[in-house]
Amino acid sequence: MTTTDKASTKDRLLDAAAELFYRDGVSIGVDALCREAGVSKRSMYQLFAGKDEVLAASLERRAPEVAAQLAEGLEQVVTPRERILHVFERSEWLSTGPDYQGCPFLAALVELKDPEHPASKVAGIAKQQLQDGFRAEAERGGASDPEFLARQLMLVYDGASARAGARIETLDGLSIATAAALLDAAGVK
């Protein structure tokens, strides 16, 4: 197998993994993954130690895409308050898509229930980066307790993502209004 073939096989595996794990959950089997990717199990095991490693790599690969979706248009937004609310606006807009199933990182963490799983570690990093972004903006906006506010915002973000992803809730401004109330209470400008 040439380097180009390996890259192509790896890309197909990671693309298939991202789609299958998001759509069907992390319990998807290796056979189904390889079939969807159009690669043999032998090829998969030449590139990855196992399904856990594929899942972790697919989440790691997806993280910049998810961050970019949430940040789209952020360069137009000036104040820390507006920047935080922009994330909720983008999240609500994304939740209206027909294939939306919530935050892929939260889904992996909930399904795996093992903080030491390689994919849990990747998902945890992605979630921490969002929380760190909220904390930094809260600090810039003069929040009385930026760390606590960031945790509150994550609770709203994850709850909204889970409820919208499960089609229990149509957000229609709900998470935006809730985040705004938290920002008001914390004195963020």
* CATH number of the domain residue 116 falls in: 1.10.357.10
Note down pLDDT in tens along the chain; length 189 residues. 555 555 589 999 999 999 999 999 999 999 999 999 999 999 999 999 999 999 999 999 999 999 999 999 999 999 999 999 999 999 999 999 999 999 999 999 999 999 999 999 999 999 999 999 999 999 999 999 999 999 999 999 999 999 999 999 999 999 999 999 999 999 999
Report DSSP letters for 69-121, one per residue: HHHTTGGG--SHHHHHHHHHHHHHHHTTSTT--S-HHHHHHHHH--TTSHHHH
What is the tally of structural domains in the chain?
Answer: 1
Instruction: State which residues form the domain around 73.
Output: 52-186
pTM: 0.92
The verdict on residue 115 lying in a domain is: yes
The verdict on residue 43 lying in a domain is: no
